[in-house]
Amino acid sequence: MIDHGKKNLIGVHINAVDYDSAVAKFIEAGKNSKRLTATALAVHGVMTGALDRVHRHRLNSLDLVLPDGMPVRWAVNLLHRTALPDRVYGPNLMLKVCEAAAQNGLPLYFFGTTQETLHRLISNLKSKFPGVIIAGSEPSRFRKLNEAESDTLVQRIRESGAKITFVGIGCPRQEIWAYELGDRLSMPVFGVGAAFPFHAGTLPQAPMWMQNYGLEWLFRFASEPRRLWKRYVFLNPAYLTLVGLQWCGFRKVDPLATQEPSEQERFG
């Protein structure tokens, strides 16, 4: 197992770990009912923290921030010589955690996406991992939850008997959710992005060769150009510039240079 701890990537703390180490952390926390707030960030997710001091505070308060994208892994290796052999891709890690949870009898809860996608996802997981225990699921409301709604959701998850919760409501909402509610759920809370529709079979994934060469963003851009064009046209070059400046020593953002969310910025 590889675990080099947290590394500064343009102001965002990234855990330089491999799949085995990440899975072990989830299972240990699930068995012992311990908080573990986690997410897996590609370039877009890292940039949400690099460009926003408030969101950087949230991200750097999470327990586990994984190098989801190849460009994130490459940058961590370049800047910190961690020699990570692979990224820790959120959808793949979700399956590995589900498999380990099934082996250890840890019930799972799923929050996010639509009811139809959840139904297909859970059916596929039960087929893939016969021993998996589903404590409960709930679709997204596709808007921010208020304090009362968040309280009710936390209560439902607690009462379900879940030991691990997966949250699939997209970046940065799922990271806000984990930051705001993670302390109240004594279990791992993992923001998994598009993993729900991927594993439900309702959203296609990039071919493996594109994933291996860090081109998954191009596949997603071609699939949803209207929604994603700003993300990739502006953020990708900005990311490369900031990483280059950090590597050259011209700019190094302090991960502690953050700002706590105000009351108006709370809840996901």
Report the 10 Å Cβ neighbour count for 81: 10
Tokens of 96: 């590995």
pLDDT tops 90 at residue 83: yes
Domain boundaries along the sequence of the chain = 3-208+252-265
Report the 10 Å Cβ neighbour count for 250: 8
Q: What is the pLDDT of residues 93-113, one digit of tens each?
A: 999 999 999 999 999 999 999
pLDDT of residue 88: 97
The yes/no answer on whether domain 3-208+252-265 falls in CATH 3.40.50 is yes
Q: What is the pLDDT of residues 10-48, one digit of tens each?
A: 999 999 999 999 999 999 999 999 999 999 999 999 999
Q: What is the pLDDT of residues 196-220, one digit of tens each?
A: 999 999 888 888 888 888 888 788 7
**CA–CA separation, 262 and 265 (whole Å):** 5
